[in-house]
Amino acid sequence: MNFSFSPDLNGLQPLLQGLDQMIAEAISLLQEREEAPGDVTVPWLLTYGLSEQPPLTIRSDSLLAKLESTCSLSAFDLYILVIALAPELDRHYEKVYVYLQDDLKGKRPTVDLVLNLLCSSIPEKFARRQHFTSNAPLIHHHLLHLASESPQHLPTLLSQQLIIDSQVVRFLLQQPGLDGRLTSCCQLIEPTESDELRSSTADVDNNLQALIASDWQNQRPLLLYFQGTGRTGKRRTAKGLAKSLSVSLLIADMAKLLEDKPNFEEQLRLLWREAWFFGRILYIDNFDLLYLTEHHTSYATFLTEVESNRTITILAGIQDWQPPATGAMGVITIPFTIPDFHQRQECWQSHLQAAQLTIEEKELELLSGRFLLTPDQIADAVATAYNTTRWQNSPTALSKIATISNSSQGDGEMGRRGDGETGRQGDKEIGEAMKNKDNFNSQSKTAQAQPFFAILCSAARAQSGHDLATLAQKIEPKYTWDDIVLPPEQLTQLQDICKEAEYQDLVHQQWGFAAKLSLGKGLNVLFSGSSGTGKTMAAEVIAQHLQLDLYKIDLSQIVSKYIGETEKNLNRIFTAATNSNAILLFDEADALFGKRSEVQDARDRNANIEVGYLLQKMEEYQGIAILTTNLRNNLDDAFERRLRFIVEFAFPTAENRLQIWQRVFPKDAPCSPNLDYEFLAQNLEITGANIRNIALTAAFFAADDGGVIEMPHLIRAIGREYQKMRRILRDKHLGPYMDLL
């Protein structure tokens, strides 16, 4: 926009000339009164005998004419406006106003001064008071504000000063920048040459650009709703539209606007006027926060204020647009959906090729199917992975990324004992299960054979899940298939879960099953079993295998005694988890997912509503959700029908415990070859979690006693663990090692 003055001062010159003429006449009249004999009095009704305002002609294409037509201002209103504006142009007017009002503090015009200057008779002064009422154009549109020097005393209308709004001053004087009252919640973007409009969805195309160009040229207001999770893509499209019109983009954050609710209405008004005054496209991010119950009043205020929209406004949110009964009418929704599998695959491939990087075809398929990312997120992930590799490797190694062995990465496995002992298999069934697990683990490592693939996965995970991190605990998976010990059936179930996650896109999209399923496209799993039997470890193993983030949500903290709060908490979690590319681990599921009771009172009714709401959100969720419970019998049958897998984690048998003992120590731990794992497995009926606690405690005992982990250290650690469990150790538990306790 051209910030410069025209020869007629953007339409102000005729008004200023008229003002100067009226001021000269008023000063002349006052001087005549001062020269009159002291005993001569002037009747009150004849105090002022000014002529009527000079005739006014305003250029039709001037800024003042724009304000006049939009706000329905009369010639009298325009003169009021210029009287208030004059001190902003020249401080000489302050001295004139002090003289005319006979008040050293009267540098701003009062209502009395305005009426004296503009009215030729007392009756006219009475009639013109209507220009200062709350519904008068100048006051109603907040172009002027009435102020008093002594707010503690009730002022008369005539004594109130006229303050022209600073935004109106900037508009009439065409001062660039951003209104100071908006800097805390807005930013002004000047599109660059690189901000060309590039269609990110089928709907954002030349037709949209033509529509916006037409409405902009004809000064018609337009409301658009950018719906979807691709925040970067939505902003990039808005910048492209602004670039196509050669205008600025004014970006406001609804979250920050809502932080100052007492001034919410004023800031909305300032936003739309800032965009309209200075020819900018307005973009309001996080709009769907207004749909939350706690912002119901603010939403009603927004619907009222949106009616004053006179420009192109883009609202951006994740949830679907909810047409209101009044207010925002005729909104066009532009969906920003996640590209399908093939589009993501092409996007990954093109960005990798542009960076002169290559990965295996299988790895490309895993990236495309596993991470639901927008094109901008994929581009950022590739750039991040590329720079990370440059940092970790020398320039010569960078060109050989595809040949670096997996050993340079380090997979964080706990490993086995340094002496290579694999342990005794309890029976043929356990041995077969271990064989199947090793084969499955080998297949999972094939996908991670290149360190660069792991770096790409890490960069892809970093693109999403940030909102979820504020609502749940992020767990960094440490365990792999070599660390978990389970019976064959449960182990197979975990492997099947991973396979379903890997082939989800193939079955749902390419084979068309998604068209047959309105809900339930996600993967909902229940882990049931006593504490310490490996439920959380299994979730970590799955997250590690799939290279996905894992977030733990404690449902006992989500459930609230206040009606509606539990649903609100659940809604926040599932909304944040949308396209988060993460596994949700709901711990303590029985805190909420108990059997729905027959309704006997309001509490029962509310509990049933909470369970029903959870079932609905789980069916809508398309990611992986794992729920853990110690009491499967308390679960509702209707809830179980909505689960893809139910895995029972039984108390470990002696054979299972032996394997856990053999694997519990890291390969670098200095373990004595005399550790009697078989005896401990046979005589101590404890869980895998207890065994891990004992191993860690024994390691600290050994660190303080020679540096080698011996049986005495294990026995002392066992005593500590049993004391913590409030269980008594007897001779039958420790036998010949009882004396070491």
In this predicted model, what pLDDT tens digit does every residue of 40-70 receive, in sequence order?
444 333 444 455 666 677 888 888 888 999 9
- Report the DSSP beta bridge partners of residue 226: 316, 334
| The predicted structure's pLDDT at residue 348 | 93
| The predicted structure's pLDDT at residue 418 | 36
Complete domains list, the chain, with CATH? 9-173 (no CATH), 180-336 (3.40.50.300), 341-402 (no CATH), 464-649 (3.40.50.300), 654-740 (1.10.8.60)
> Does the pLDDT at position 599 exceed 70?
no
Indicate the range of 94-108, 268-282, 428-442 predicted with least confidence: 428-442
| The predicted structure's pLDDT at residue 466 | 78
CA dihedral 558, 559, 562, 566 (to 10 degrees): 60
* Percentage with pLDDT > 70 across the chain: 82
- DSSP designation for 13: H
> Residue 577 phi/psi, 5° resolution?
-80, -10
What are the pLDDT digits (tens) for 395-451? 544 444 444 334 333 333 333 333 433 333 444 444 454 455 555 554 444 443 347
On the CB side of 207, CA atoms within 13 Å amount to 6
| The predicted structure's pLDDT at residue 183 | 93
Most confident of 5-9, 181-185, 233-237, 434-438: 181-185
From CA 628, how far away is CA 38, in angstroms rounded?
Answer: 98
> Does the pLDDT at position 349 exceed 50?
yes
From CA 678, how far away is CA 681, in angstroms rounded?
Answer: 5
Q: Which position has the token pair 């954050």?
A: 253
Report how far Cα 14 is from the mean position of its chain's Cα atoms. Answer: 51
Q: Are 230 and 343 in contact (CB under 8 A)?
A: no
Among candidates 15, 10, 2, which has minimal Cα distance to 63? 10
| The predicted structure's pLDDT at residue 449 | 37
From CA 718, how far away is CA 721, in angstroms rounded?
Answer: 5
Q: How far is CA 295 from CA 117, 261, 476, 538, 572, in A?
A: 47, 9, 35, 40, 14
Mean pLDDT in residue range 89-106: 92
- Report the DSSP beta bridge partners of residue 120: none
Contacts of 332 by beta carbon, 8 Å cutoff, 6+ apart: 222, 223, 224, 225
| The predicted structure's pLDDT at residue 308 | 81
Mean pLDDT in residue range 276-299: 93
What are the pLDDT digits (tens) for 135-153? 999 999 999 999 987 666 6
